[in-house]
């Protein structure tokens, strides 16, 4: 019987890889079949044994919309200063919900899959990527509902190619930012479970720290110029304003008061800078993730 070592005698050592080593995000592409499985599992098990099923994808944003619209739109009379306030409000809530779910799920993705992490080797970044994609799948019914409402209000006759591009840009910005932050806090959450509580606090502030419930000029009227610039460079602020530009402005085109509600200056440039911020966040998150992932199995 021949020695099996002879079969590999001519294979260069560079062709072998050390078991358990990771090439980071490149492995997500190599293990794409496992990524599809994780996404399918996350989507199908979300509403398992639920009477309403996918209807819950509409219930949460609808409840948020009603509460904010009644309190801010009616009680605080913001509806008087912003025409079509319902569309303005709902378009902001939809994109914020995408970020909230993607960020939260990515943060808990490693701890939530502790059994797999402890027993077998696989690229751990897969869990964060799949969490963001699952959040995007659950975001689609909400944006479809928003689109239907806008079409009924005449959106289709006013929308432009820039508006369509703004939708895609906003979604990409939010998903990249959620993934980068999810890598960072997801890795910390394995060692220090306080990270999950910090994320919960951050998510409480997201809706109020972006022009979802109010118009951006209200911030400019209160804050100094340089601080307003910092506020506008927030990627979430840019994503919300891009959704307003894509959905709210076309259906409000005929309003006389729209001239008093200008587009944020430098929206295109600030959106490009937001992409840079998101990519930087991913690099930092990946660095921290790679530094800590060697102890994931022990810490879990």
Per the structure, the count of domains in the chain is: 1
CA 268 to chain centre: 20
In a domain, 112, yes or no: yes
pLDDT tens digits for 219-246?
Answer: 888 878 788 888 888 999 999 999 999 9
In a domain, 16, yes or no: no
Q: For residue 202, what are its two tokens?
A: 């951050």
For residues 1-10, b (16+ Cβ closer than 10 Å) or e, as one string? Answer: eeeeeeeeee
Q: Comparing C-alpha atoms, which of 148, 111, 143 is closest to residue 128?
A: 111
In a domain, 7, yes or no: no
Residue 26 pLDDT > 80: no
In a domain, 11, yes or no: no
What is the sign of the dihedral through the CA atoms of 288, 104, 95 and 148?
Answer: positive
What is the pLDDT confidence band of residue 16, given thresholds at 50, 70 and 90? very low
Runs of H (alpha helix) within 2-121: 26-30, 32-45, 56-68, 78-81, 85-107, 109-112, 114-119
Is the pTM higher than 0.75? The answer reads yes
Q: Which domain holds residue 219?
A: 23-299
In a domain, 14, yes or no: no
Residue 177 pLDDT > 70: yes
In a domain, 233, yes or no: yes
In a domain, 67, yes or no: yes
């Amino acid at each position: 019987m021949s020695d099996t070592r002879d079969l590999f005698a001519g294979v260069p050592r560079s062709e072998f890889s050390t078991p358990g080593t990771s090439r980071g995000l490149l492995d997500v592409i190599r293990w794409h079949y496992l990524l599809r499985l994780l996404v399918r599992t996350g989507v199908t098990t979300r509403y398992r044994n639920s009477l309403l099923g996918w209807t819950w994808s509409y219930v949460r944003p609808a409840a948020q919309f009603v509460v904010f619209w009644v309190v801010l739109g009616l009680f605080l009379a913001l509806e008087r200063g912003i025409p079509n306030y319902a569309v303005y409000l709902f378009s902001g809530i939809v994109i914020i919900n995408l970020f909230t779910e993607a960020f939260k799920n990515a943060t808990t993705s490693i701890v939530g899959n502790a059994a797999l992490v402890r027993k077998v080797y696989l690229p751990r970044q897969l869990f964060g990527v799949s969490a963001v994609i699952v959040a995007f799948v659950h975001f689609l019914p909400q944006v479809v509902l928003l689109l239907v409402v806008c079409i009924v209000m005449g959106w289709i006759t006013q929308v432009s190619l820039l508006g369509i591009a703004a939708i895609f840009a906003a979604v990409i910005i939010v998903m990249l930012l959620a993934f980068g932050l999810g890598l960072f806090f997801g890795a910390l959450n394995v060692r220090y479970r306080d990270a999950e509580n910090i994320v919960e606090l951050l998510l409480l502030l997201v809706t109020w720290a972006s022009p979802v419930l109010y118009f951006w000029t209200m911030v400019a009227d209160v804050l100094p110029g340089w601080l307003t610039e910092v506020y506008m460079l927030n990627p979430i602020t840019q994503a919300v304003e891009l959704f307003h530009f894509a959905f709210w402005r076309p259906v409000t085109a005929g309003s006389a008061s729209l001239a008093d509600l200008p587009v944020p200056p430098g929206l295109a440039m600030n959106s490009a800078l937001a992409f840079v911020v998101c990519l930087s966040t991913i690099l930092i998150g990946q660095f921290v993730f790679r530094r800590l992932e060697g102890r994931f199995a022990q810490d879990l």
